[in-house]
Amino acid sequence: MSERAGFGEALAGWLLTGPAILAYLAMLLIPTLAVVVLAFTDFELGMPGFHWVGLDNFSELLTDHGMRTSVRNTALYVALVTPASILAGLGLALLIEAGSRGKVFFRAVFFLPVVSLMVAMATAWQYLLHPTIGPVNAWLALFGIAGPNWLGSSDWVLVSLGLIGVWENAGFNMVLVLAGLTAIPRELYAAAEVDGAAGPWARFRLVTWPLLGPTMLLVTTITTIRAIRTFDSIATLTQGGPNKASEMIVWTIYQEGFSYLRMGYAAALTVVFLVVVLAIMLVQTRLIEKRTHYS
């Protein structure tokens, strides 16, 4: 009897997971393994056959000047956008939680970029940042400042895209921090007050910040990965230009793989991208384990 029930349960389990597992293999696991295999070939779409080239694609990645620019730009962009949008998200969340009026309204306003079509919003930013007719430079001119060619000069383009990136990510980080804040028990603030932590800064340092640790770690990981993946604003506004000054890793994968059809080379770059993303997540997991160990 129980044998039969066990078999029936197992059968139901396989039938219910079967379709999902097949789709998982076809759309995710096999293609991901195929990318790794492709990275060791010179496969080009439309060319007959391919050859194994060992590590050639990877050594080309190391020597290719354009590739180095792309990686450096990605690193710079991440270094700019990640801390700024984490601080912005944290600041907005704390400001919203500090009082009772307008909570719902402001939360909605700051969240708006998350649900807005990035291609369309990038187009709006392009007008705002237009060097001659844009309102940003018109406003700067009121103070006698000649604004730069935000998206058109190679010195400013990463900063401008970074600005758009912070605008895009801050609201998302804010809701994650808000979720973390609501999980902090109210009694802890009362207890801290009894212990003499009177000011808002003392309460933040003694209660909020330590308990927000895991949330901030999560926010840092998410923001870093979102920044690395930046594609829409580049595809819409700069196409990697001017002079490759805004060339970033996912845009380069797109160009090499789907414009020049150099699939093998693009696959190698994809593998590098995957390894970077996995490394970031590994660091996060390690840090979480360490925290739970020592605290």
Partner 1 sequence: MRAAPRLVLLSLLAVLVLLPYVWMISVSLKPRSEVFQATLSLIPKDFAAVQNYGRVLREIPIGRYLLNGVFVCGSILAFQLAFAIPAGYALAKLRFRGRGVMFAMILLGLLVPAHVPAIPLYIAAANAGLLNTYTALIAPFTISVFGIFLFRQFFRAMPDELLQAGRVDGMNEASVMLRVALPNAWPAATAFAIFSVVAHWSDLFWPLIVINEGALYTPALGVLWFRAEEAGDDYGALMAAAVLVTAPLVAAFLLAQRRFIEGMTMSGMKG
Site for partner 1 in 144-163 (CB under 8 A): none
What is the Cβ-side half-sphere exposure of residue 289, based on CA atoms within 13 angstroms?
Answer: 6
Under rule CB under 8 A, residue 81 binds partner 1: no
Residues 44 to 73 in contact with partner 1, rule: CB under 8 A: 45
Under rule CB under 8 A, residue 184 binds partner 1: no
Q: How many positions of this chain bind partner 1 (CB under 8 A)?
A: 98
- Please say which residue, 175 or 287, places its beta carbon nearer to partner 1: 175
Choice from 75, 83, 116, 213 touching partner 1 (CB under 8 A): 116
- Please say which residue, 1 or 104, places its beta carbon nearer to partner 1: 104
Count of residues for the chain?
Answer: 295
Tell me the C-alpha to C-alpha distance, in Å, between residue 62 and each of 88, 246, 249.
35, 19, 14
Going by C-alpha positions, the residue among 27, 48, 25, 63 that lies closest to residue 268 is 63
- Please say which residue, 33 or 191, places its beta carbon nearer to partner 1: 33
Query: How far, in Å, CA of 264 to CA of 47, rounded?
Result: 12
Residues 228 to 287 in contact with partner 1, rule: CB under 8 A: 229, 231-232, 235-236, 250, 253-254, 257-258, 263, 266-267, 270, 273-274, 277-278, 281
Under rule CB under 8 A, residue 107 binds partner 1: yes
Going by C-alpha positions, the residue among 91, 244, 90, 79 that lies closest to residue 165 is 79
Choice from 47, 79, 87, 95 touching partner 1 (CB under 8 A): 95
Q: How many CB atoms lie within 10 A of CB 57?
A: 22
Residue 92 CB, shortest distance to partner 1, in Å, is: 7
Q: Are 125 and 237 in contact (CB under 8 A)?
A: yes
Amino acid at 44: E
